Chain A
């Protein structure tokens, strides 16, 4: 809890609930990101008995025990909600309060061993009433989102009682692609740091981990076909690489949290580190008629470049299960060729906006990722142009979280409206979401977590919640509260402003 007196903001918010429940309500709920529809009745409260409470598959559910995604999520969320005890005695006959011992989970369609996809449904309904204590969703991914919401609704009284108010939630994401970019080339991030970030992403309902895995400074990806790439191109092949096992761990850890792993192998620029392991791959630069000793982008005039690329991207297409690869790219002929190759591996691709700006011929199903703020045009204009050309688009320009500044910059991040450009409804429907980017020039494991959280949370709510949830004052209290909840969960999230949390960080 943030101290009320010291923030000057009340936690009991009068919020205009949106959608079908549009009415003014006093809410005793602090959920982040804010659900599409929520109704809370603080007058009716249920107690949860921590030693008995459990999640159970509803008899009508299409998935049943043995479903890896939910089996593990149930264990995870019990731990998040109740900790590991010990708890106070559950029997409080003096309290006239209904005790609930389980939440029924009902998933409509089967599928526990799949990977989440761009068009996976994440909607869910959560009904916590006398008659029903049930979470319903179309897919297991929706159930994960609902469990997260459920965990955020649970309160703890000063006496240690766990309780939840009578609540009705109908929720779904506004955008299907809600991403976070980490850069493991400028600085290596240990596996543990990546996994912890995936946990916090799930708390924020992010669903895409954009892994900018290699770049100029280092090549930590250990390739099966070209092991020299990381042996020579990583900072230290003994410690600063991602083995195939590491990569598989990340992909599975992400899957269990409903998060896609979108791998980026940027070419033909940003490839200095590639050249160390693959002699002849990069273009030698000349000063006059002599090689200068330095290298430029991938050499597009050699056949063996294409042989290497074909083989390398075949491997990448196999290793990363997501339909999409992020290809970076800004050089016309080469990119054109690469896009065709990747298509032939039955993958879709996402490219940085330069590919569009440079008039590379793109197939209609390309996703263009907008990252520049003002050039060649302001990003809203860029969004307009790209959607007008019929391409789907992702927004990152205003969400470069590595660009820090003094004060509460989350407010600026939060105030962005991705559809704030001139365009038809068809154009707007081509905006599939956005990504918060944490580029690595000045970030490594020492400062990543506090720099990322809760600032990235502002992006998460913008991409999940309704467009009308955009009041920074109301968001402040919830986000401050959510940040305290992150601390309680062991995440080193930095403060929004003065104050304290009941579970402050103690190293």
Chain B
């Protein structure tokens, strides 16, 4: 059995990384068989020996280490232990127990999970959450060590990816040592529940798949022009009139479900309530919120962005965002601010008068700034930070770099934008190259994989302001019928780019690992589409 290097170029100036020979079994051409470990995203350091250890589906257990700060009262870990036991063994229909227990070789009996610091078991993850872990797989007990539960979750995923089945069907794992931590702290998936409603089940499945790929932020673009499915307590008419139908809403029970499900997987949920543009659906349930458009001196009956000149607008926003800040525990709210169409504001005589009074001249960017600043103040008063789309920065709204993160989404010159945003001292998240709704023929995952987020001109201080990125699946052409195969495994390419070392970019190696990773997702119930010709072992 040949010893080959598994991840030879994982090097960074700050860390001495081990380049010991690692085991890589020969791949079966085309077949994406689960006969060798295929780690995705690739950990920072992996060392393996050819020594195989056997796991018995009957007796193997994942449990708390004696010196762990977490114990059986940590539901997050209990639930994760149960889940990962299933992922490791669950997809075999009829495990031949007799054969497995008679496997010749050393058995590994348990995986002990040790949390070494305050566990944060009952907390919600945030941007500073520690996701690092260390995994030592050896006879007869494997140990997963992490400072917080978040790292334990990532390590459990890695452990589950290390287990495979030998040619006799027995569950095996190589002696292994993994040291791992994410390159970027913000690794998001954007879903859009306004262009099409996504049923709860779809969102939960997405969270599962996110955990398989070590994503940690669900950017929930929950409302937009097309529909308002968020059921507000203070303003029930918003969804009462703005949702596609009474069945196409997210109740508070639904949202709690998403939040809990995400937390248990170490995933933050950042809701986006985009304004002042993209708000058509808000207007249906909230009178006078939107700007009435005019043709000459006549109202057209159409409405534009939120009306920024009325006190009632800000009263509404105060109440509404106070509710949102209580419903969603994350300490950030996404305020949108993209693609504001000024034509309706321009047509409205009251707005024109207000512009004159404020001395804004013809600069509707100033009016937009006026609105956003008031909105940011409202949200800041709830002790939340905020994210905004890049236009807010481009239009020179006065923002506080301590509380605002700028999201770069426009396709062209995004390197320049990253450079500008970080030069101004803002933290940033990149989306531009990762609009997964833009489908094309062939293996477009390679394009997403190829992106290097820090390839822009800027100082190291600037680069540290890049918190990460988000793969966006906008909903114009996506609903529950096609979301899963369209998102996975294409988003996985982004997942590795944001987790693994900068130097992990060998496409051939990525192809082999990702092909198997997608089969693993399929076995775990995620209908992830194929990368290319071949098949998955059942």
User: Main SS of chain A's interface residues?
Assistant: loop
Contact with A along B184-222 (1 / 0, CB 8 A): 000000000001110101100100000000000000000
Residue of B nearest to A186 (CB): B533
The answer to whether the Cβ of A348 comes within 8 Å of any Cβ in the partner chain is: no
Contact with A along B343-364 (1 / 0, CB 8 A): 0000000000000000000000
B199 touches A447 (CB 8 A): no
The answer to whether the Cβ of A255 comes within 8 Å of any Cβ in the partner chain is: no
B437 touches A447 (CB 8 A): no
How many B residues face the partner with a CB closer than 8 A?
Answer: 44
In whole angstroms, what is the CA distance A447 to B141 when docked?
A: 41
In the complex, what's the smallest C-beta–C-beta distance from B396 to chain A, in angstroms? 32
- Beyond A447-B482, A495-B196, A505-B481, whether A240 also contacts B529 by CB under 8 A is no
Contact with A along B237-249 (1 / 0, CB 8 A): 0000000110010
Residue of A nearest to B442 (CB): A442
Among candidates A235, A444, A492, residue contacting B529 with C-beta atoms closer than 8 Å: A444
Contact with B along A228-265 (1 / 0, CB 8 A): 00000001100110000000000000000000000000
In the complex, what's the smallest C-beta–C-beta distance from A236 to chain B, in angstroms? 7
Contact residues, A415-446 vs B (CB, 8 A): 440-446
The answer to whether the Cβ of A499 comes within 8 Å of any Cβ in the partner chain is: yes
A506 touches B199 (CB 8 A): yes
Residue of A nearest to B437 (CB): A406
How many A residues face the partner with a CB closer than 8 A?
Answer: 44
Among candidates B437, B441, B477, residue contacting A497 with C-beta atoms closer than 8 Å: B477
Residue of B nearest to A220 (CB): B535
In whole angstroms, what is the CA distance A441 to B441 when docked?
A: 10
The answer to whether the Cβ of A51 comes within 8 Å of any Cβ in the partner chain is: no
How many A-B pairs have beta carbons closer than 8 Å: the answer is: 122
Residue of B nearest to A487 (CB): B481
User: Main SS of chain B's interface residues?
Assistant: loop
- Beyond A406-B440, A440-B533, A494-B482, whether A239 also contacts B476 by CB under 8 A is no
- Beyond A187-B530, A239-B538, A442-B532, whether A403 also contacts B441 by CB under 8 A is yes
Among candidates A404, A499, A504, A507, residue contacting B441 with C-beta atoms closer than 8 Å: A404
The answer to whether the Cβ of A364 comes within 8 Å of any Cβ in the partner chain is: no
Contact partners of A496 in chain B: CB under 8 A: 477
B245 touches A495 (CB 8 A): no
Contact partners of A83 in chain B: CB under 8 A: none
The answer to whether the Cβ of B413 comes within 8 Å of any Cβ in the partner chain is: no
Contact partners of B226 in chain A: CB under 8 A: 6, 498-499
In the complex, what's the smallest C-beta–C-beta distance from A497 to chain B, in angstroms? 6
Among candidates B199, B479, B530, B538, residue contacting A444 with C-beta atoms closer than 8 Å: B530
Please list 18 pairs of residues, one from A and one from B, whose beta carbons are closer than 8 Å in the complex, sorted by A's number: A6-B244, A187-B534, A217-B534, A235-B535, A406-B437, A406-B440, A442-B532, A444-B535, A446-B485, A446-B527, A446-B530, A447-B530, A449-B481, A495-B196, A498-B476, A500-B248, A504-B197, A507-B205
B positions within 8 Å CB-CB of A: 30-31, 195-197, 199, 201-202, 205, 226-227, 244-245, 248, 437-443, 475-482, 484-486, 522, 527-535, 537-538
Extra A-B contacts (13), CB below 8 Å, given A446-B528, A495-B482, A500-B196? A236-B31, A441-B533, A442-B530, A446-B527, A447-B486, A450-B485, A487-B481, A497-B477, A498-B476, A499-B244, A500-B227, A500-B248, A504-B197
